[in-house]
Amino acid sequence: MKHFLQFSDFTRQEFEYLFERTHYIKALFKSYTIHHPLKDRMLAMVFEKQSTRTRVSFEAGIHQLGGSSINLTTGETQLGRGEPIEDVARVISRMVDLVMIRTYDQSIIEKFAAHSRVPVINGLTNQFHPCQILADIFTYIEHRGSITGKTVAWIGDGNNMCSTWLQAAAIFDFELHVASPEGYAINQSLIAPYESPHLTTYSDPREAVRGADLVTTDVWTSMGFESETDERKRDFAAFQVDRDMMARAHPQALFMHCLPAHRGEEVSEEVLEGAQSVVWDEAENRLHAQKALMEYLILGHVTPQSAS
């Protein structure tokens, strides 16, 4: 049994298989072709933080694969009254086929997985957001081909997205240039296994984007850090991805953002809505990539013939 708790849980071969399946599953969706490999299978979604894209893409995705889902939030379950995560894992995983969790510390999802009878997917923790990077790399490949050997510039907070990009850089062998304000670098313990030769850090974001093939950013204040919002607005003021910054990247560079975006903060309206931005494709691809992921975690490798 496999889990997808962080990006480094899968090999490059597994990602290549997933991207092939994503392409196939997306084509079926676009041609209104029924694809029900997960008929009667049940996904439990546990949300300890808010969500739009993750909720909709997993719920629509499992339904389109022939299965169904249950949405659980902290406030509406015994989790909110302190039931231990190990007990919740043992109970839920006896009743469903797959679990997706969005929570705070990575240790929570690891504890859940250690006590689960079924595969567990990380739908975002404070440390990682592997489903988003799965969709982002698929989106890059769709638009520009292989990401191997390319340069990705991460501008802003050294957060869950940034540390997941770093794991992806090691797996797909691309360069990650990170520019964060002082005090907002990726946690050293998350960097240590990946640093060389894939990561270069910069204090000046304009240096980090020079010649980049992909420029990407995220909110200045992630979920769980709301009390720091005002301070962060001051600290990140020089880190907005705007037209001037994009002009320093490769002329064919793409712009990505996992969304939700704050126009006028981490990204200008002009860049978010501009010709280089692929943020809407990126959001849509969450659906297709996670359908391939759910199919893989439950059924393993399948051929197009046996899955339809």
218 among known catalytic residues = yes
Site for ligand NVA contains 218 (CB under 6 A): yes
Strand (E) or helix (H) holding 71: strand 68-73
Site for ligand NVA contains 180 (CB under 6 A): no
Site for ligand CP contains 256 (CB under 6 A): no
Q: What is the DSSP letter of 187?
A: P
Site for ligand NVA contains 160 (CB under 6 A): yes
Nearer to ligand NVA, 65 or 161 (CB): 161
Q: Are 154 and 216 in contact (CB under 8 A)?
A: yes
Find the shortest distance in angstroms from Cβ 129 to ligand NVA.
6
Q: Are 118 and 99 in contact (CB under 8 A)?
A: yes
Judged by CB under 6 A, the residue of 178, 209, 219, 258 near ligand CP is: 258
Q: Of the listed pieces 45-53, 68-76, 79-87, 194-202, which binds ligand CP according to CB under 6 A?
A: 45-53
Residue 268 three-state SS: coil
Site for ligand NVA contains 48 (CB under 6 A): no
Find the shortest distance in angstroms from Cβ 30 to ligand NVA.
25
The closest residue (CB) to ligand CP is: 54
177 among known catalytic residues = no
149 φψ region: left (φ > 0), alpha (ψ -120 to 50), beta (else): left
Residues near 126 by beta carbon (within 8 Å), at least 6 away in sequence: 104, 105, 106, 160, 222, 224
Site for ligand NVA contains 185 (CB under 6 A): no
Kindly state the greatest CA–CA separation across the chain.
Answer: 55
Size of the site for ligand NVA (CB under 6 A): 9
- Residues 232 and 157: their CA atoms lie apart, in Å, by 9
- Residues 168 and 62: their CA atoms lie apart, in Å, by 25
Q: Identify the active-site residue in 53, 129, 177, 250.
A: 129
| Active-site residue set | 102, 129, 132, 218, 258, 286
